[in-house]
Chains A and B, each alone.
Chain A
Amino acid sequence: MSRDAWSGRDVLSILDFSRSDLEQLFDIANDFTERPGSVKKSLTDRIVATAFFEPSTRTRLSFSTAALKLGAKVIDLSPEASSVMKGESLPDTIRMLESYSDLIIMRHPSEGAALLASEVGRVPIINGGDGSQHHPSQAMLDLFTIQRLRGRIDGLSYAVLGDARYARTATSFLYGLAKYKPKAVYLVSPEGLRIRPEVKDTLDKLKLRTEQLEEIDDVLGKVDVIYMTRIQKERFPDPNEYERVKGSYRITRSTLAKAKDALVLHPLPRTNELAYDVDSLPNAAYMEQARLGVPVRMALLHLVLGERKK
């Protein structure tokens, strides 16, 4: 895809992007990582709005940092201190925001919120997470991290460990992997946290073969990447269901003794599923992954908005 095709585009799901789109993004992100001094201020005179209807640390801050590094000004809607608290609808909120900004980065607890916003608004919408469904920029930076640290994404074996049912990061990562040719993809979750039928259906259509397992020990010795997720209490419709599965998996330094040099990725924040004693191992890639969120999101903003006519 040429830059023209990126220009002004909504970023709702990684499914909407081809492998060559991602490679173009990664080339630019790589440039921004390797030569930070050479970054052009391609968003000067642009205003980027962030609207996070649920909490965020890394996504919001790394997008804001990325926008600032490219010369944009950033405005922020704080739902808790805005008309959202007075019951304003999402379409009305988006219509207001788009009249103040050139691009909106949003996160919302409901699936489809970013899609709805994209249909209401004229400015590009970047989905920073919608319910349990999509988190495209996270998947892009996850893949970029693997590309940087292992030199390739194809031909590796992956274990996606934890909540594959409600974690949008796991779903989006799998959708992203489907653009490549992994050697094997193992899904390791207790029964209550396995991927949703509609996600399995999509992966089947994309011809991404996965194998469902209960225990990580079964594949520790043969995977190159372990992609972990937190069990997100806030996504469970039934609190009893959360109580049943919480603490059902955990990676520690001793667990990784069998894992050779497998990279451990985690979108963070972590709770107790990833022990702090892993941090000093060479396997721990999650802090580098978080750091690379900035150049990937810079590349994303640059492609979508950088050369778009006002």
Chain B
Amino acid sequence: MSDKETMLVQKISDGTVIDHISAGKSLSVLRLLGNPQNRGVTVALVMNVSSSKMGRKDIVKVEGVELTDEQIQKLALIAPLASVVIIRSYRVAEKKNAVPPKVVVGILSCTGATCISVREKESVQSIFSLAGSSPLSYRCKFCGRVLSEQEISAQLG
């Protein structure tokens, strides 16, 4: 983040900064993280700021919470360009990029009405494998249908 951007919200002592979220997706990111603000966690959103890399982007700061690797993988499903910075005592402790997981279990839903993962969803977990990174797409293990980036965002957003 540039100094200009950091002026928009105060620095956090400990927690996570998620940068390079596609503009308009920050609320989806919060939902994906289980809406930590509802548990009393301090959250700051910066929406639609200019970015040399992305044109426009969103930023999310979550105080006192460090994202797990699993959460970062899920994050990649709706913000594949996101970078995650873990802050400890006002310093950058770790930097990680959101990398789309090769296999996603139980998070996405197949769009095929006749897919067994849809018809037997009580007894079967959906399983998708990464089909493409840019744009992001995932293939259903059971019926082979491919979910597009827009469909993934619509499901998780």
- A residues whose Cβ falls under 8 Å from a Cβ of B: 89-92, 108-113, 115-116, 130-133, 197-199, 201-202, 235, 237
Smallest CB gap from A114: residue in B: B116
Contact B123 A131 (CB under 8 A): no
CB pairs A–B below 8 angstroms (29 shown): A89-B122, A89-B123, A90-B120, A92-B123, A108-B116, A109-B114, A110-B114, A110-B115, A110-B116, A110-B118, A111-B114, A111-B143, A112-B115, A112-B141, A113-B116, A115-B116, A115-B141, A115-B142, A116-B120, A116-B142, A130-B116, A131-B115, A131-B143, A132-B114, A197-B146, A198-B145, A201-B146, A202-B144, A237-B114
List residues of chain B with CB within 8 A of the CB of A111: 112, 114-116, 142-144
Q: A89-B123, A90-B123 are in contact. Are A237 and B113 (CB under 8 A)?
A: yes
Given A111-B114, A112-B115, A132-B114, are A198 and B144 also a contact pair (CB < 8 Å)? yes
Q: A131-B114, A237-B113 are in contact. Are A112 and B123 (CB under 8 A)?
A: no
Chain B residues contacting A235 (CB-CB under 8 Å) are: 114
- A112-B141, A202-B144 known; 20 new pairs, CB 8 Å cut-off, are A90-B123, A91-B120, A91-B123, A108-B116, A109-B114, A110-B119, A110-B120, A111-B116, A112-B115, A112-B117, A112-B142, A115-B142, A116-B116, A116-B124, A131-B115, A133-B144, A197-B146, A198-B139, A198-B144, A237-B113
**Which residues of the partner chain A approach B77 to less than 8 Å between Cβ atoms?**
none
Among residues of B, the one whose C-beta sits closest to the C-beta of A199 is B144
Q: In the assembled complex, which residues on chain A have CB atoms less than 8 Å from the CB atom of B141?
A: 112, 115
Asked if A133 and B122 sit within 8 Å, CB to CB, the answer is no
Size class of B's contact patch?
20 to 34
Q: Which chain A residues lie closer than 8 Å to B139 at the CB level?
A: 198
* Chain A residue at minimum C-beta to C-beta distance from B112: A111
> What chain A residues lie within 8 Å of B143 (beta carbons)?
110-112, 131, 133
Give the most central of B114, B120, B142: most A CB within 10 Å.
B114
Q: Measured between C-beta atoms, what is the minimum distance from B155 to chain A in Å?
A: 18
5 smallest CB-CB distances across A and B, nearest first, come from A112-B142, A111-B143, A112-B116, A110-B116, A89-B123
Determine how close the nearest CB of chain B comes to the CB of A133; give it in whole angstroms: 6
Chain B residues with Cβ under 8 A from A197's Cβ? 146
Interface centre among B115, B124, B140, B144 (most CB of A within 10 A): B144
